[in-house]
Copies of this chain bind each other. A is one copy, B any other.
Amino acid sequence: MPTDESASAFSAEPPPASSTKKRTRRRMTGKERREQLLDIGRTLFAERGFEGTSVEEIAHKAGVSKPVVYEHFGGKEGLYAVVVDREMRRLLDMVTGALTGGHPRELLEQAAFALLDYIEQYTDGFRILVRDSPVAQSTGTFASLISDIATQVEDILGREFKSRGFDPKLSPLYAQALVGMVALTGQWWLNVRKPKKAEVAAHLVNLAWHGLDGLEQKPRLIGHRRS
């Protein structure tokens, strides 16, 4: 069950020492170690939050001592910043990359599906993005990074709105609403895993597109590409 990308190619703990001789621990290149620390940090931040995670623990899980972390990132905040930055990039890339197709409904489908994809593939990253950043007011005054993501999606809606004769000033509102819909449902789905992802996506699009009034019984995705 591939929960999260884990590039760490080696066991974090030193090998069980089959021989009496103390097996000299594998030495990584700077880059390798850096990536490994990022992976571990992401995992820990996701499950304990920023303040709840200690540098010592990160270092320990990497089978390494504290100063190594300081060497690479200058501290906890540094590491966290890089983790968050990468996840935001990734999510944004996935969402915008999925926005193919001209029909607005197709766009909606792709976006929703991409977000669910991200949530499934990079669960830890998603958990971090949903939490509050420690250095609040960094980007502005947004409470959650996800809310921030939504603002980057709103221009897509804005264009659509304009072409339909709606007030484009409302696009941020609707963007937040749509993202919130998918995000919270995704969060819930992570713990239930009951309907399959594609089915969840179909229902979400069904709701977003037709509304409660025109709800269909057995919704199907139209422009569905990847599994």
Contact = CB atoms under 8 A, between A and B. Distances in A.
Contacts of A203: 170, 173-174, 177
Nearest to A47: B136
Interface of A: 47, 49, 51-52, 104-105, 108, 127, 130-132, 134, 136, 140-144, 146-147, 150, 164-167, 170, 172-174, 176-185, 187-192, 195, 200, 203-204, 207-215, 217
A209 B209 CA distance: 10
Interface of A is mostly: helix
Chain copies in complex: 2
Contacts of A178: 181
Contacts of A144: 130, 184, 187
Contacts of A108: 212
Contacts of A212: 104-105, 108, 174, 208-209, 211
Contacts of A132: 49, 131
Contacts of A215: 164, 166
A185 B177 contact: yes
A127 B104 contact: no
